[in-house]
Chains A and B, each alone.
Chain A
Amino acid sequence: MAVGTNVAEQDVELVELFHQYKVKAFHFALQTLGNRDDAMDVTQEAFLRLQRHWRRRDASRPFAPWLYSVVRNLAIDVLRKRSTRRECELEGAPEVSPVPSPETNAQRKELSARLWAEIQRLPEAQRETLLLRDWHGLSYSEIAEVTGTNVTTVNSRLHDARERLRERLRRYL
């Protein structure tokens, strides 16, 4: 009886985390892959993988970096398979481009589009780090965990990304 109840409680926790993170996971995959179908496949596979490993997980580890790193690894697999035929040019792909909210004014819309184009032009590691920080709101140590690196590298990637974006966008900011 005790075993059964325990399993149920843990899985309820996973269901709650699913609700909390499903869209974030999808968007991280989308930002990496630039394609909704691939992003959804990766999101699905990531949560099913987490479910399979749920009872053997290290419960002291926070959930978000774990989920993000699983999504990232699966996305990298997709990119590798895809690399022979580079079908989806990220830049300008309508599926990934942010959708401005209706109340945004024209000037801000234009600036946002310009910024997104520049983000797409960043080297992959910088782009990923910047999005994990400024869009997903992860801390440096969480980003280090997700991207398999250390805080110093995260720090310098962010610094470089921001320097570059500032340089490119300075006159519009």
Chain B
Amino acid sequence: MNRTGKHEEIHPMLSAYFDEELTQADSQRVHLHVEECEECRSALREMYEIQQLTSEMKFRQPPEAIMEALETRISVQAPRKMGWTLVIAGLAGWLLYALAYAWKHLRWPTMVELLVEGTVAGLALVFISVLRQRLLERPHDRYRKVRK
């Protein structure tokens, strides 16, 4: 009786053994069997060859221009979203402050001044974000012209 397990029983576990996906106990059993089974050893060697060859395969690269445009879409969203969040929060804050101030003092010109300042600050933030996007998109546009 073979204490390391029968070939028929061990052989189906070779693939998982090769990938180190067996429990330690099973892995040990396979290991002991492999040491004395030439057929399983060559199966492992062939699996290794197949894996090497497969992982060496190189595939064509993605279309650069489209990938760049996608990158712009993904990276621009972040500051844009933050910009809008800040603008809205800022405007709401200013508005509340101005209303409270006006309520207390009933001096309309001051309130209008405050609102104007708030709006200008908000627009400035959006402007900066748009500017940033333009700068990020510029190399892509240039590339597109070259292609056409």
- The stretch that binds B, out of A61-69, A83-91, A132-140, is A132-140
Given A7-B78, A7-B85, do A23 and B57 touch, yes or no (CB 8 Å)?
A: no
- Interface residue A76 (Cβ < 8 Å from any Cβ of B): no
Digit string of B56-69 for contact with A (CB within 8 Å is 1, else 0)? 11111111001100
Q: Is the CB of A15 within 8 A of B55?
A: no
Chain B interface, DSSP helix/strand/loop, else mixed: helix
Digit string of B36-60 for contact with A (CB within 8 Å is 1, else 0)? 0000000101110111011111111
Q: Is the CB of B60 within 8 A of A95?
A: yes
Give the nearest-CB partner of A17 in chain B.
Answer: B74
Tell me which residues across on chain B come within 8 A of A105, comparing CB atoms: none
Distance A39 CA – B70 CA, assembled complex (angstroms): 14
B60 to chain A, nearest CB (A): 6
Chain A interface, DSSP helix/strand/loop, else mixed: helix
- Interface residue A155 (Cβ < 8 Å from any Cβ of B): yes
A79 to chain B, nearest CB (A): 18
- Interface residue A3 (Cβ < 8 Å from any Cβ of B): yes
Given A15-B74, A36-B60, A43-B62, do A8 and B79 touch, yes or no (CB 8 Å)?
A: yes
Tell me which residues across on chain A come within 8 A of B43, comparing CB atoms: 166
List B residues at the A interface (Cβ < 8 Å). Answer: 12, 14-16, 19, 21, 43, 45-47, 49-51, 53-63, 66-67, 70-71, 73-75, 77-79, 81-82, 85-86, 89
List A residues at the B interface (Cβ < 8 Å). Answer: 1, 3-5, 7-8, 11-12, 14-15, 18-19, 22-23, 26-27, 30-31, 36, 39-40, 43-44, 47-48, 51, 95-96, 98-101, 104, 108, 111-112, 115-116, 119, 130-131, 133-135, 137, 139-140, 151, 155, 158-159, 162, 165-166, 169-170, 173
